[in-house]
Amino acid sequence: MKILNIGSLNIDDVYQLPHFPRPGETLHATACKRYPGGKGLNQSIALARAGASVIHAGAIGADGVFLRDLLKSEKVNTGPLILHPAEPTGHAVILVMPNGENTILLHPGANFTLAPEHFKKFIKPLHAGDALLLQNEISNLYHILHLAHEAKLRVILNPAPFTAELHRAPLHLLDTLIVNEIEACQLVEIPVGSAPRDAFAALQKKFPETTLILTLGPDGVMATMPHQSYPVLEIPAFRVPSVVDTTAAGDTFTGYYLAERLRAAPFPDALRFACAAAALCCTQPGAAPSIPRRAQVEAMIKFGVR
């Protein structure tokens, strides 16, 4: 079975700050570093480090060739990756607080140059039942969902960042939907900050035929599969001595979860393994560099943090 990730690639500038800036306030950053990033790139690296064989499709500018080289170094197939002659690579400014929380400003760049004709080429080598992983950092998501459905692919979507266009997208065609608390509330149009159980119940009502995973940060995950005898699963988060940076924790979870499911791991086991990987990710700075390798996750589950 093939795994195709049509996803974003970004250059991340990460600033360490004492607190989030207030309107009109100027802050001195205590540190600034540049990292490879983008939800698509992060998730492909997580898949690869979890042991999966993954193909990455997307677009970069001339300034992002090092991102392609990074994917290649991780044994990710970058054959479909487009080098755009005029657009810069996607760019993110990430502000990180002392407790590891972050906020992100994103410019899509080349990620938003993808068109329906690109998607047709990307999915042409796939067969019915192959997996397609998507995020919401690329253009024309609506079109790729329809094309994937026609090709009978198993589509896994992490709809981040949330945009109003998602309400018009055919999300009922998804095999799996992975969201955080804010995205869940936005998708079902209830107040952000509503109780996770309320948001999850609304998701179940709206997407009864979809595997649903709600990530809750330090509170773990809630998840369910359609037509299963067990109730909603609640998997606790793994604890780590200190949280350095939560950037890419959700992407790490997504990649590891999908890799485990494609290895035929039972649903609860895949969720637990992905939670361990996400926790380890939070102990290191940056996005892609913080994604752990499989041996580290196995050691955490067996012995604790290492």
The residues annotated with a catalytic role in the active site are 251
Output the six-digit token pair for 249: 């924790």
Find how far residue 24's CA is from the centre of its chain: 32
Which residues does residue 84 pair with via DSSP β-bridges, in sequence order? none
Q: Any idea how long the chain is?
A: 306
Cis peptide bond N-terminal to 159, omega within 30: no
- Return d(Cα 200, Cα 185) in angstroms, integer: 9
**DSSP 8-state secondary structure symbol assigned to residue 68:** H
- The amino acid present at 214, given as its one-letter code, is L
Beta bridge partners of 279: none
User: Token pair of 9, please?
Assistant: 């690639």
Q: Would you give the DSSP letter of residue 129?
A: T
Q: Tell me if residue 216 falls in helix, strand or coil.
A: coil
